[in-house]
Chain A
Amino acid sequence: MTTILIAVAALLAMAALFGAILGFASEKFRVEGDPIVDQIDAILPQTQCGQCGHPGCRPYAEAIAEGEEHNKCPPGGEQTIQELSDLLGREVLPLDDEHGDASDIKKVAYIREDECIGCTKCIQACPVDAIVGAARLMHTVIVDECTGCDLCVEPCPVDCIDMVEVKPTLQTWGWSRPPGVGNAPARHIPVVNLP
């Protein structure tokens, strides 16, 4: 009988001790913030487009960390889903097309300036303050800051905003991946008639 009591007492003492240690450790080494959210946020494309149903990328990152599906980001496309799957150890899911289609073509907003009436609606819609202008004055898009989120297109009362494709420049152009085994990496340039 006493042995059982001793055993129970010892176990209880150990439980209390380890409980105390764990409690102390959890206070002492508490991690401020949630680094996983930061990691998820770093993978998301930061277009702040809200197509996922959240008001920006960070809120969606928080939602993913709390268990929401990670396939609701059309601007990130397959690559973002892949990276998120790697990070979170979740299954790679196909893009949830309820939230929009993925497109590899990068676009930015362009305001047809002579049609703009200066209503500032697009300025209010822009999540990254990439549109400048004032009331009753023409607006314009800061191309370098535009994330191509589309959010300014809908509010425009005169439909003067287009999403235009970003053309490669000498600075952004890069070689394409060679066509792979079985193909010659050559392209034939059609004959140019010289003047």
Chain B
Amino acid sequence: MALLHVTSPHATSSQRTGALMRQVMLATLPGLAVLTWLFGWGTVINVIWAMLIAAAAEAAVLKARGKPVGLYLRDNSALVTAVLLALAIPPTAPWWLTLIGVGSAIILAKQLYGGLGMNPFNPAMVGYVLLLISFPVEMTRWLAPGAAPDLATSWQLFLDRYPGADALTGATPLDSFRTWAGDASALAAEPILQGRFAGLGWEWVNVAFLAGGLYLLWRRIITWHIPVAFLAGLGLCALPFWLYDPVRFASPLFHLFSGAAMFGAFFIATDPVSAATSRWGRLIYAALIGVLIWVIRSLGGYPDAVAFAVLLLNLAAPTIDYYTQPRTYGHDKPKRGTG
């Protein structure tokens, strides 16, 4: 070996896809910690289990497709999908629920489309929606915050051997608000709605994910466009309705710090593969997700809506890109279309 013949540039930044993905996983740690503090070890068990499934599924499919397994596993993208999905499903989920969710996310939503970079939909959200529609009972079995079961109980729940699993269930703030919307006294009586500024416990989950997201912004792993537009879309949509009727419509603050709002804004909608690519495109994409979340939460049939909103906008992303190409230097106006 002597000289290298390489095209320019000869220097590259130290960013690596694998490292980026690791940073994303790292940024979920505060959220994971708060979830564990509130709901017990279930989420931690789920995350580990999901990572194992994801790695195995990815390796198996890569092998079947005749691709170099080592190279592709190194990008850590499957693990990120696994972590995000495991954080989204309830801590009481049995092992098979995670298995089905993560397996279909990796195999159906990602590898069958051609692997990393080729999937039109966010794999974690595909897995989530699939579970939510197929197993609505298991997928809505959240616990009351603060009543965290011990490790043994969590393990039993994971193995699907806990006899009174259904009895553990507690409503989430979004559930409660849906149920009692329009009834001021009932809302005031719901303990889960008596948090410091949003739902009890869940506000801290969202604060933790916000912190993780800010870390990602600081490390320049994501840009500000999607989270800001997402939260602005959601908040600004909620504001006039809340001002009009604060009993029927929740406050912007409640919306922003309930359910998966912060998690979605910083970790789900920012998935670059399935998002719009141009700058304006990303702003529009994320703002529409925010609006759609408010619409589904307030007027639709599901208590939370991040997964549906993200998937719907994934569908729209190519169209958004079609109309939002930047104006190239030296050209009068931006081009449209794909040529």
Q: Which residues of A approach B to under 8 Å, CB–CB?
A: 175, 178, 181-182, 185-192
- With a CB–CB cut-off of 8 A, which chain B residues contact A186? 4-6
- Kindly state the separation between the CA atoms of A192 and B2 in the bound complex, as whole angstroms: 9
- With a CB–CB cut-off of 8 A, which chain A residues contact B67? 182
Instruction: Indicate if the CB atoms of B7 and A191 lie closer than 8 Å.
Output: no
Task: List the A residue with the shortest CB-CB distance to B1.
Answer: A188
Nearest first, the 9 closest Cβ-Cβ pairs linking A and B are A191-B2, A189-B3, A187-B5, A186-B6, A186-B4, A189-B5, A188-B1, A182-B71, A182-B68
Task: List the A residue with the shortest CB-CB distance to B115.
Answer: A181
Q: What are 20 A-B pairs at a CB distance below 8 A? A: A178-B7, A181-B71, A182-B67, A182-B68, A185-B6, A185-B7, A186-B4, A186-B5, A186-B6, A187-B4, A187-B5, A188-B1, A188-B4, A188-B5, A189-B2, A189-B3, A189-B4, A190-B2, A191-B2, A192-B2
- With a CB–CB cut-off of 8 A, which chain B residues contact A181? 71
Task: List the B residue with the shortest CB-CB distance to A175.
Answer: B7
Kindly provide the distance from the CB of A86 to the nearest chain B CB, expressed in whole angstroms: 15
- With a CB–CB cut-off of 8 A, which chain B residues contact A192? 2
Proximity string of chain B (1-20) to chain A, C-beta cutoff 8 Å, 1 when within and 0 when not: 11111110000000000000
Task: List the A residue with the shortest CB-CB distance to B4.
Answer: A186
- With a CB–CB cut-off of 8 A, which chain B residues contact A190? 2
- With a CB–CB cut-off of 8 A, which chain A residues contact B2? 188-192
- With a CB–CB cut-off of 8 A, which chain B residues contact A191? 2
Q: Which residues of B approach A to under 8 Å, CB–CB?
A: 1-7, 67-68, 71
Kindly provide the distance from the CB of A175 to the nearest chain B CB, expressed in whole angstroms: 6
- Kindly state the separation between the CA atoms of A189 and B2 in the bound complex, as whole angstroms: 6
Task: List the B residue with the shortest CB-CB distance to A187.
Answer: B5
- With a CB–CB cut-off of 8 A, which chain B residues contact A189? 2-5
Kindly provide the distance from the CB of B200 to the nearest chain A CB, expressed in whole angstroms: 48
- Kindly state the separation between the CA atoms of A41 and B6 in the bound complex, as whole angstroms: 40
Q: A-side binding surface: helix, strand, loop or mixed?
A: loop
- Kindly state the separation between the CA atoms of A186 and B5 in the bound complex, as whole angstroms: 6
- Kindly state the separation between the CA atoms of A190 and B4 in the bound complex, as whole angstroms: 9
Kindly provide the distance from the CB of B117 to the nearest chain A CB, expressed in whole angstroms: 9
- With a CB–CB cut-off of 8 A, which chain B residues contact A182? 67-68, 71
- Kindly state the separation between the CA atoms of A178 and B5 in the bound complex, as whole angstroms: 12
Kindly provide the distance from the CB of A125 to the nearest chain B CB, expressed in whole angstroms: 42
- Kindly state the separation between the CA atoms of A175 and B8 in the bound complex, as whole angstroms: 12
- Kindly state the separation between the CA atoms of A186 and B1 in the bound complex, as whole angstroms: 12
Kindly provide the distance from the CB of A15 to the nearest chain B CB, expressed in whole angstroms: 42
- With a CB–CB cut-off of 8 A, which chain B residues contact A187? 4-6
Task: List the B residue with the shortest CB-CB distance to A178.
Answer: B7
- Kindly state the separation between the CA atoms of A60 and B279 in the bound complex, as whole angstroms: 49
A188 and B7 contact, Cβ closer than 8 Å, known pairs A182-B68, A182-B71: no
Kindly provide the distance from the CB of B59 to the nearest chain A CB, expressed in whole angstroms: 16
- Kindly state the separation between the CA atoms of A191 and B71 in the bound complex, as whole angstroms: 30
- With a CB–CB cut-off of 8 A, which chain B residues contact A188? 1-5
Kindly provide the distance from the CB of B265 to the nearest chain A CB, expressed in whole angstroms: 31
- Kindly state the separation between the CA atoms of A52 and B3 in the bound complex, as whole angstroms: 48
- With a CB–CB cut-off of 8 A, which chain A residues contact B68? 182
- Kindly state the separation between the CA atoms of A182 and B68 in the bound complex, as whole angstroms: 8
- Kindly state the separation between the CA atoms of A178 and B68 in the bound complex, as whole angstroms: 18
Task: List the A residue with the shortest CB-CB distance to B68.
Answer: A182
Task: List the A residue with the shortest CB-CB distance to B70.
Answer: A182
Kindly provide the distance from the CB of B58 to the nearest chain A CB, expressed in whole angstroms: 15
Kindly provide the distance from the CB of B317 to the nearest chain A CB, expressed in whole angstroms: 23
Task: List the A residue with the shortest CB-CB distance to B3.
Answer: A189
- With a CB–CB cut-off of 8 A, which chain A residues contact B7? 175, 178, 185
Task: List the A residue with the shortest CB-CB distance to B116.
Answer: A181
- Kindly state the separation between the CA atoms of A178 and B8 in the bound complex, as whole angstroms: 12
- Kindly state the separation between the CA atoms of A191 and B4 in the bound complex, as whole angstroms: 10
Other A-B pairs, 5, CB within 8 Å; known A182-B67, A189-B3, A190-B2: A181-B71, A182-B68, A182-B71, A187-B6, A188-B2
- Kindly state the separation between the CA atoms of A187 and B68 in the bound complex, as whole angstroms: 21
- Kindly state the separation between the CA atoms of A118 and B247 in the bound complex, as whole angstroms: 103
- Kindly state the separation between the CA atoms of A6 and B71 in the bound complex, as whole angstroms: 79
Task: List the B residue with the shortest CB-CB distance to A191.
Answer: B2
- Kindly state the separation between the CA atoms of A65 and B71 in the bound complex, as whole angstroms: 49
Task: List the A residue with the shortest CB-CB distance to B67.
Answer: A182
Kindly provide the distance from the CB of B77 to the nearest chain A CB, expressed in whole angstroms: 13
- With a CB–CB cut-off of 8 A, which chain A residues contact B71? 181-182
